[in-house]
Amino acid sequence: MEALYDPEIDEIYVAACHGVSKTMTAAAATEQWFSCNGWPVQTTAPTSRQVNDLLWRQIRINRLNASLRLPGRLMLTPNIVVPGRPDWFANGFTTDKPDGAQGPHRDNLLVVVDEAAGVKDWLWTAIKGWTTNPGCKILAIGNPNTVQSYFRAQFFEHEGKRGARSIRISAHDSPNVTYWACGRKKTPEEQEDPVPGLANDDWLQKRREEWGPNSVEYLCKALGEWPDDEDAKAIPMAWIRDSFLRSEKLAAEHGIPEYQADKEGLDCARAGSDSNAHVGLGYVNRILVRRFWDEPDTMRAAKEVAVDIMGRAYKPRQIAVDANAVGGPMFDRLAEIRRENLDAWGHCEVLAVDWGSGSPDKKRAVNLVSYLYLLLREGLSPDTPEKDRLILPTAAELHRVGLTPLRLAKQLNARGCGYNEKLQFWVEPKKSMARDPNRKSDDDKSPDIADAIALLLYSKAKRTVSFWSA
């Protein structure tokens, strides 16, 4: 409540474990905002069942048990109306269509997002649009049970920054968890919980024994910690977040240098969910995004890239091109333009990359795409010395080319990975990603810009390449 009424804070993101009264707190905040201040409230959740059976069920219970007469009339649908006051309301709302996300625009509007980890990106975009008027606030509450969501991205993006507050609640924050957590059992006089209904020592101990102290379930549901995905994803989300934070810190200290890349990667597309991605690897291992665009004509796209390279004073040593499928003609055209314009083209080599070809190091990876992603994984790993670690672009650099840190993070995190019986590293093929019904967005199915970044680490020499080599 303190954060909600802080005039310096507009957005609050609460990642909480089970049994710490998330829904009750959100219902109390809704009622106080509406009844005590006379201000409007809009609530939402991923599904209508969650809107009705969770937050609004608690709001109804609270109103039925209230000792004072509360303003407004509670309707059968999830809303409270005040006769003669269309600007004073509390509504519960959800939709599965972007066109249906037209919300209210009122001063002092409170938007409560329940089960926030499951809310789609496009609805979050709409929510940000609802809160443009003076005095508006966003209160987002949910379990930290996703490795890739807008809620998680916002939680970490605003952590420690002005204008927003990120709050993590563990079962250890419950007033009932005091004895077992400290290493001793309750005495008979201490058996009764100070606040009945919240997580207590017995619950926490049982969950630890049932799930295991290092399990994802225990970390998320008992400790309120975000899950990690180091073993399941080629590029874990935590590593991506750390690289973004480091990038922003360096930009704040030294500014964003001019685009100058020593190596470049080009992932090609024609139509559908794919896009062309042109990236570079610059000074101090900075990954740079040159362009991310849709162009169904591969010859025109190749000419645009060639004009770009020839028009620069500082040219890369090489540009590695995805020469599979639609990328083949694009590589051929770039190589042709290079031969015809050697003076303007300079020393830049055009390298054809066959994703399905053999790995330069067969002991480590099953094929070339897996090998390049393994190098990328090592380049972003916290185990790599910081001076040798890759640095992702800043938010400002991404916005210039129509991208956001969340979109890039989703693409980098999209490919699953593992090790076979020979302990060779493999990454999920793009075809299986496209067929996966659980992948809903284009970024999950077609990680074009992530593939272009992996191409930065390609070398035509059959040897182990270093991602920090000049």
213 plus 131 within the same structural domain: no
pLDDT digits (tens, 9 = 90+) for 92-105: 988 877 777 777 88
Q: Torsion over CA of 226, 232, 234 and 239, rounded to 10 degrees?
A: 20
Q: Is residue 18 part of a domain?
A: yes
Given a contact cutoff of 8 angstroms between Cβ atoms, the answer to whether 368 and 322 are in contact is: no
Q: Is residue 442 part of a domain?
A: yes
Kindly tell me the sign of the dihedral angle through the C-alpha atoms of 20, 25, 26, 27. positive
165 plus 186 within the same structural domain: no
241 plus 386 within the same structural domain: yes
Q: Would you state the structure tokens that stand for residue 391, as one six-digit string?
A: 């640095």
Q: Is residue 30 part of a domain?
A: yes
* Confidence (pLDDT) at 393: 95
The number of CA neighbours under 13 Å toward the Cβ of 303 is 6
Q: Would you state the structure tokens that stand for residue 382, as one six-digit string?
A: 């916290």
* Confidence (pLDDT) at 189: 60
* DSSP 8-state symbol, 91: E
58 plus 185 within the same structural domain: no
Given a contact cutoff of 8 angstroms between Cβ atoms, the answer to whether 468 and 286 are in contact is: no
Q: Is residue 229 part of a domain?
A: no
149, 169, 189 - which closes a domain: 169
* Confidence (pLDDT) at 465: 35
106 plus 193 within the same structural domain: no
Q: Rounded distance, CA 95 to CA 102, Å?
A: 10
* Confidence (pLDDT) at 466: 37
* Confidence (pLDDT) at 463: 36
Q: Give the DSSP H or E segment for 273.
A: none
- Quick one: which of 292, 246, 277, 284 has its CA closest to 262? 284
pLDDT in tens, the chain (470 residues): 788 988 889 999 999 999 998 999 999 999 999 999 999 999 999 999 999 999 999 999 999 999 889 999 999 889 999 998 988 999 998 887 777 777 788 999 999 999 998 898 889 989 999 999 999 999 999 988 776 688 988 888 766 667 889 999 999 888 888 755 555 566 666 667 788 889 888 888 888 888 777 766 788 888 888 876 677 889 998 899 899 999 999 999 988 888 899 999 999 987 666 789 999 999 889 999 999 999 888 899 999 999 999 999 999 999 999 988 788 999 999 999 999 999 999 999 999 999 889 999 998 999 999 999 999 999 999 989 999 999 999 999 999 999 999 899 999 999 988 888 787 999 999 888 888 776 767 777 889 999 999 999 998 543 333 333 33
Given a contact cutoff of 8 angstroms between Cβ atoms, the answer to whether 187 and 105 are in contact is: no
3 state SS of 352: strand
Q: Is residue 122 part of a domain?
A: yes
132, 147, 169 - which closes a domain: 169
3 state SS of 391: strand
| Total of domains in the chain | 3
Q: Is residue 78 part of a domain?
A: yes
Interior/surface letters 3-25, b for 16+ CB within 10 angstroms, e for the rest: beeeeebbbbbbbbbebbbbbbb
pLDDT digits (tens, 9 = 90+) for 380-404: 999 899 999 999 999 999 999 999 9
Rounded to two decimals, the pTM is: 0.61
| Strands (DSSP E) found in 101-199 | 110-114, 137-142, 164-169
Q: Rounded distance, CA 388 to CA 372, Å?
A: 16
Helices (H) and strands (E) in the chain, counts: 17, 15
3 state SS of 57: helix
Q: Give the DSSP H or E segment for 67.
A: none
163 plus 263 within the same structural domain: no
49 plus 127 within the same structural domain: yes
Given a contact cutoff of 8 angstroms between Cβ atoms, the answer to whether 361 and 370 are in contact is: no
* DSSP 8-state symbol, 419: E
3 state SS of 322: strand
109 plus 200 within the same structural domain: no
Judge residue 60's burial from the number of C-beta atoms within 10 Å of its C-beta, 0-12 exposed, 13-18 middle, 19 or more buried.
middle
Q: Parallel, antiparallel, or unpaired for β 137-142 and 11-16?
A: parallel
- Quick one: which of 154, 113, 107 has its CA closest to 131? 107
Q: Is residue 231 part of a domain?
A: no
Q: What is the CATH classification number for the domain harbouring 114?
A: 3.40.50.300
109, 141, 169 - which closes a domain: 169
210 plus 329 within the same structural domain: no
Containing domain of residue 214, as a range?
180-221
Q: Would you state the structure tokens that stand for residue 83, as one six-digit string?
A: 């006769």
Q: What is the CATH classification number for the domain harbouring 433?
A: 3.30.420.240
Q: Would you state the structure tokens that stand for residue 270, as one six-digit string?
A: 């024609």
* Confidence (pLDDT) at 185: 60
Q: Is residue 293 part of a domain?
A: yes
390 plus 271 within the same structural domain: yes
17 plus 119 within the same structural domain: yes
258 plus 155 within the same structural domain: no
